[in-house]
Homo-oligomer: A and B are copies of this chain.
Amino acid sequence: MTQGGWISTLKEEGAVRPRRTLAEEAADNLREFILLGKLEPSTSIPERELAEALGISRTPLREALRLLEIEGLVEYSATRRPRVADPSLQELTQYISVLGALEALAGETACVEATDAEIAEIQKLGHDMAEGSSELTALQFFQLDMRFHSSIVEASRNEPLIETHRQYNARLWRARFLSSQQVDRRDNTLSQHSDITAALIARDAKATRRALRDHLKSTISNITRIHEARDAAQTED
């Protein structure tokens, strides 16, 4: 070793990042397609065609599909034909239960682990949403909402928790996006967010947990409302 441990510094900075494989990139691309709604639920995913479209061979694409299967964004038919996942209302409800438990844990942990700066950042996101409530588009409001929640989870500094939360969030992305179209729910969202923020600032673990779980409970009813509306519309056809 020559001057001071600058090499280990480099390592910690993440400058030495793992090489990315085509499979991971493909998974990122596909995930984005699915989350942005460019691919409808139940759309079938022919491996050859998609591989060609992405300019890669089937081998890495298949690995990507496997990753997305575990994330819950892709599912396989009984004869193993991959398609975009289309979770039932029951599954969505189950996802939210788990998501609620994860966020509640994250909130509790954040009360202990988070820096003041991190809490301030969360508070700021809450403010931005409140300020812009009347101007923001559905998508913008939704994205801020997602970041608000993710920031809380990240403040827990629990890497596996963050990752698992990310996965459940992805599974719920579409349903939550659709339900975020209900502009009349914004006030409710905002008031619950300020409850959460207040509890975090007070570093009151119990209150934070309670506020987060209450919030997720109204998410369930929002999603249920939308889902039932869509089902009704479909039946009419």
The interface of chain A, by Cβ under 8 A from chain B, is 16-19, 21, 23, 59, 62-63, 66-67, 70, 72, 76-80, 91, 94-95, 97-98, 100-102, 104-105, 109, 158-161, 164, 168, 171
Q: Tell me, rounded to whole Å, the shortest Cβ–Cβ distance linking A106 to chain B.
A: 9
Copies in the complex: 2
Residues in chain B near residue A70, CB distance under 8 A: 67, 70
Known: A16-B78, A59-B59, A80-B18. A72 touches B160 (CB 8 A): yes
Do B79 and A161 touch (CB < 8 A)? no
Q: Tell me, rounded to whole Å, the shortest Cβ–Cβ distance linking A96 to chain B.
A: 10
Instruction: List, sorted by A's number, 22 A–B pairs whose CB atoms are closer than 8 Å.
Output: A16-B78, A17-B78, A18-B78, A62-B63, A66-B66, A66-B67, A72-B160, A91-B159, A94-B158, A94-B159, A94-B160, A97-B105, A97-B109, A97-B161, A98-B102, A98-B105, A98-B158, A98-B160, A98-B164, A100-B105, A101-B101, A164-B164
Q: Which residue of B lies closest to A102 (CB)?
A: B101
Known: A67-B66, A101-B105. A91 touches B21 (CB 8 A): no
Residues in chain B near residue A67, CB distance under 8 A: 66, 70
Residues in chain B near residue A19, CB distance under 8 A: 78-80
The 3 closest A-B pairs by CB, nearest first: A101-B105, A94-B158, A101-B101
Known: A16-B78, A18-B80, A21-B80. A161 touches B66 (CB 8 A): no
Interface of A is mostly: helix
Q: Tell me, rounded to whole Å, the shortest Cβ–Cβ distance linking A65 to chain B.
A: 10
Q: Tell me, rounded to whole Å, the shortest Cβ–Cβ distance linking A130 to chain B.
A: 29
Q: How far is the CA of A94 from the CA of B78 in the complex (A)?
A: 36
Do B18 and A160 touch (CB < 8 A)? no
Q: How far is the CA of A45 from the CA of B150 in the complex (A)?
A: 34
Q: Tell me, rounded to whole Å, the shortest Cβ–Cβ distance linking A87 to chain B.
A: 9
Q: Tell me, rounded to whole Å, the shortest Cβ–Cβ distance linking A58 to chain B.
A: 10
Do B63 and A97 touch (CB < 8 A)? no
Q: Which residue of B lies closest to A87 (CB)?
A: B160
Q: How far is the CA of A184 from the CA of B202 in the complex (A)?
A: 41
Residues in chain B near residue A63, CB distance under 8 A: 62-63, 66
Residues in chain B near residue A159, CB distance under 8 A: 91, 94
Residues in chain B near residue A164, CB distance under 8 A: 98, 164
